[in-house]
Structure formats: C-alpha cells, structure tokens
Amino acid sequence: MAAVRLTDLRHPVVVFTFSGWNDAGDAATGVIDHLSEVCDTDYAFALDADDYYDLIENRPVLVREGNGERTVQWATTEVLVAHLSERDVVLVNGPEPSFRWRAFCAALVSAFRSIKPERIIAMGAMLADAPHSRTVPVSEDGTDYTGPTGIVGVLASACADAGFNVTSLWASVPHYVSDPPNPKATLALLSRLEEFLGESIERGDLLDAAAVWEERVNELVADDDDIMAYVRELESRYDTAEATGEEIAQQFERYLRRRER
C-alpha cells in the first residue's frame, strides 16, 4: 500500500477500534478488516510499538513475505485510509496499548487535527445477555454507565475534549458464544457505520459468514437443553421489549465483571 497524506482527504471520517478488552468476538476489529479488504486502501502511518506496547504480552510475529524473506511484524496501532466513492475513511486499529495511554491518545488526537474529520466514530463490542438468533443490538453513544473503561472509551473522551464530533457504537455479543469471530455482530456494526458514512459498503463474504455462524450456533444450542432454555428466555425478553439505556448499562457492567474473572 502506498503512503497517503492525511491533509488531502475527501470529507474524511475517522473510525477507530482496538482488539482485546474492547472487542468481544472480534466484532469491531472485524469491521476494520472488512473495510481494508473491500475498499481501495492506502497506508498512512503506524505508532512506534516500543512507545506503547508490552512486547512480552504482545509478542512480535515472524512472517514470510512473497519473495520468501522473513520479516518481523510488531504489535502496533496502524492508520489506513479507505477510499469510498464520495469520501475517505481513516481506519485506526491495533491492540489495546499496554501503557502511556495519555501520550497514546495525544498522538492520535494530533493526527486527527491534521485530518479535520467531519466525524470520529469509536467502535467496540461487549459481552451481553443478547440472543444470537435476533438482530444484534448496537448502542449509540454508550449509556449512563460509569466505571472502568478501555482505550476505546478513553480515546473517545479525548477526542470529544478536543472538540471533535464523536459517536460511539457498541455491539452486544452473546456471552454464551463469545469466541471470535462473530461475523453477525461485525455485520451489525458495519450497517450502522453506513448510516454515518452516507454510503453503501460492499458486503463481500460477510453475509454468508454471518448466516453460517448463526446456523452453527443453532446446532450447538440444540444439543444442550439447558442452553436451549436459556436462549428461549433471552429471545422472549428481546421480543417483548427493546433494551433501555439502563439495561444496556447493566449489560456492560456484567461484561466488565466477566472480563475481570
């Protein structure tokens, strides 16, 4: 990918997400991966891994290039630019940093000032009491939740403090089937993202992957009477009432407790 100047973008929007704590089922990072695959994408820059990552926790990986040479890939936050028909979308993605979060956010906010985005969209995914067989709930701008947060929340707050127009999108991933990937949740986030971009995004294999995922989960649930009864209860609750902000906050708190175990 060729390098691109961040000062020469068309109606730019920034989208950021981070793997790990903020990304149940790899749902949010799946959106970045999908956009990178289906859009014409250029490389902008990456943050220095030594500045923000514990390389024992996020070990480098040896990969073999097309010419047969081996290179080292370092854990880092990478900034790409996806070109849509009417606008450019700046994609920020990487593992949640290990330390120096204030400096990390300051570096990205500085880059965003050069971009002058029309909007910044933070994306994440949380484990929730949501049935896999229904539409994936995606909450906008979070809830009244207060308490521990991850880098998605911290960076979103830093962007808002800097005067940017910030929106947060969080997908609710069923906690009883949390192993990644979750293409259905990725598809839900992608659909909400389209609303803010004002453009359609090619689905590629994502629709088929989401259908296959749901079918496989149906098969697993059908093999366990207790899980089946639990899912039926979740479906009943989902069908009789939409989640309120308070309920979403409670789901997020349960998600935090599960992460701490």
What confidence tens digit (pLDDT) does each residue in 174-213 have? 999 989 999 999 999 999 999 999 999 999 999 999 999 9
pLDDT at 81 over 90: yes
Give me the mean pLDDT over the 71-89 stretch: 93
By C-alpha distance, which of 20, 201, 193 is closest to 121? 193
pLDDT of residue 249: 54
C-alpha radius of gyration, the chain, whole number: 19
pLDDT of residue 55: 86
- pLDDT tens for residues 37-53? 999 999 999 999 899 99
Virtual CA dihedral for 84, 170, 168, 138, nearest 10 degrees? 70
Rounded to an integer, what distance in angstroms lies between the CA atom of residue 86 and that of residue 97?
32
> Which two three-digit tokens encode residue 148?
């521990």
Rounded to an integer, what distance in angstroms lies between the CA atom of residue 75 and that of residue 67?
23
Report whether 138 contacts 186 (CB < 8 A).
Answer: no
Averaged pLDDT of the chain: 89
pLDDT at 253 over 90: no
User: Which residues have CB under 8 Å from 14's CB, separation 6+?
Assistant: 89, 90, 92, 112, 115, 117, 119, 120, 121
pLDDT of residue 72: 86
Helix (H, G, I), strand (E, B) or coil at 144: coil
- pLDDT level of residue 157 (50, 70, 90 thresholds): very high
pLDDT of residue 106: 98
pTM summary value: 0.86
- pLDDT level of residue 1 (50, 70, 90 thresholds): very low
pLDDT of residue 251: 58
By C-alpha distance, which of 111, 94, 97, 123 is closest to 18? 94
Virtual CA dihedral for 209, 181, 94, 8, nearest 10 degrees? 20
Distance of CA 204 to the CA centre of its chain: 18
pLDDT of residue 4: 80
pLDDT of residue 245: 47
The amino acid at residue 167 is T
Give φ, ψ of 108 to 5 degrees: -75, -40
